[in-house]
A = this chain, B = another copy of it.
């Protein structure tokens, strides 16, 4: 074990993409533990679009990270010293570790202990398909989107961590699934490897035409990760009684300019659409149920898990920008220790 704890602290709130001034890399001694506490060596960090919303000025569903505080993030680590029987040495833990090498847990500042049955899954899978990412797709698609056999489902950011799972879940339910992704390679991948029925390349000039042609019967479910003009065009094709699972609005997270108009907002009225915003933390008490189902489908070969792994603690800020530039396929994780 190192005697040093590296951490990225928020130095200033970014305008647009984060840059070299956003975080400060600091090195401090590894914290000691008191009664009821355990020390976790963080090994993997989950990179999620919502990370960007936590460092804006506006409170979201969590308070903004304050200047000087460690960057908030989900991670996976191992308990290496413990004064708490809930956290035995050697156990794997998953939760809000932050961008740092070591963190202290306790009953009042808990992380989730990975059950033995899941311990052998790859770390990226524990943070992805069998973590918050998979649960987001699970509850958003199955409980809000509720796709039915033969319906048309559109997933935006379809090659991303949540999108890849959400689309496959809709396929499991017998829907026609159309993914919106950036570039021909990702579009081919979600169709050929993940089994989507069609893909729309939003970087192509004719993407609106592609969307029309891919949804000849309109759209019954929009699993919305992106917002902006992509969402607007999807709204324009929603069918009567369509559902919108509003999961993310990634196109706006770095925005510094006026967003495009939602000229098709009125379609929500005319077509009696149900739109439901959701934050996966609200479903925390039900994660067990989701993970059990997801793990079962993975074992049966019905769900494929894909990840992009970046190595090195110092790569964390760069990795976050990769998300917004679309440089990942599936779950994006950073390995910060062996």
Q: Write out the residue numbers on chain B whose beta carbons fall within 8 Å of the beta carbon of A261.
A: 258-259, 261-262
* Residue among B227, B252, B277 making CB contact with A272, cutoff 8 Å: B277
Q: Are B263 and A268 in contact (CB under 8 A)?
A: no
**A279→B270 contact, CB < 8 A:** yes
Inter-subunit contact B282/A277 (CB<8 Å): no
Q: For the complex, is A249 an interface residue (Cβ under 8 Å from B)?
A: yes
- With a cutoff of 8 Å between Cβ atoms, the chain B residues found around residue A279 in the complex are 269-270, 272
Closest to A268 in B: B277
Q: State in angstroms the CA–CA spacing of A276 and B60 once bound together.
A: 23
**CB-defined interface of A145-188 with B at 8 Å, one 1/0 digit per residue?**
00000000000000000000000000000000000000000000
CB neighbours of A275 from chain B (8 A)? 268, 273-276
Complex CA gap A282/B270 in Å reads: 11
Residue of B nearest to A281 (CB): B272
Per the bound structure, the CA–CA distance linking A249 and B262 in Å amounts to 13
Q: A207 at the A/B interface (Cβ < 8 Å)?
A: no
For A247, A248, A261, the residue with the greatest tally of chain B CB atoms inside 10 Å of its CB is A261
Q: How far is the CA of A60 from the CA of B88 in the complex (A)?
A: 62
| In the complex, A284 has a CB within 8 A of chain B | no
CB contacts under 8 Å to B, within A220-270, are 227, 246-249, 252, 258-259, 261-263, 265-266, 268-270
CA distance A227 to B264 in the complex (A): 12
Main secondary structure of the interface of A (DSSP, over half): loop
Q: In the bound complex, how far is the Cα of B248 from the Cα of A61, in angstroms?
A: 29
A287 → chain B closest CB, angstroms: 17
Task: Please report the C-alpha to C-alpha distance between residue A265 and residue B248 in the assembled complex, in whole angstroms.
Answer: 11
A324 CB–B CB distance under 8 Å: no
Residues of B within 8 A of A227 (CB): 265-266
A338 nearest CB across to chain B (Å): 37
Instruction: Chain B residues near A249: list those with CB within 8 A.
Output: 265-266, 269
Q: Please name the residue on chain B nearest to A246 by beta carbon.
A: B269
How far does the Cβ of A18 sit from chain B's closest Cβ, in whole Å?
19
CB distance from A88 to the nearest CB of B (A): 36
Q: With A259-B263, A261-B258 in contact, is A272–B268 under 8 Å at CB?
A: no
User: In the complex, A263 Cα to B255 Cα: how many Å?
Assistant: 12
> Which one of B262, B270, B278 lies within 8 Å of A262 (CB-CB)?
B262
Q: Offer 29 A-B interface pairs, CB within 8 angstroms, sorted by A.
A: A60-B270, A61-B270, A61-B271, A227-B265, A227-B266, A247-B269, A248-B269, A249-B265, A249-B266, A249-B269, A252-B266, A259-B261, A259-B263, A262-B262, A262-B265, A268-B277, A269-B277, A269-B278, A269-B279, A270-B279, A271-B277, A272-B277, A272-B279, A272-B282, A273-B275, A273-B276, A273-B277, A274-B274, A275-B275
Chain A positions within 8 Å of B, measured between CB atoms, are 60-61, 227, 246-249, 252, 258-259, 261-263, 265-266, 268-279, 282
Q: When A and B form their complex, which 6 residue pairs have the shortest distance between CB atoms, in order from nearest?
A: A269-B277, A275-B275, A268-B277, A246-B269, A273-B277, A60-B270
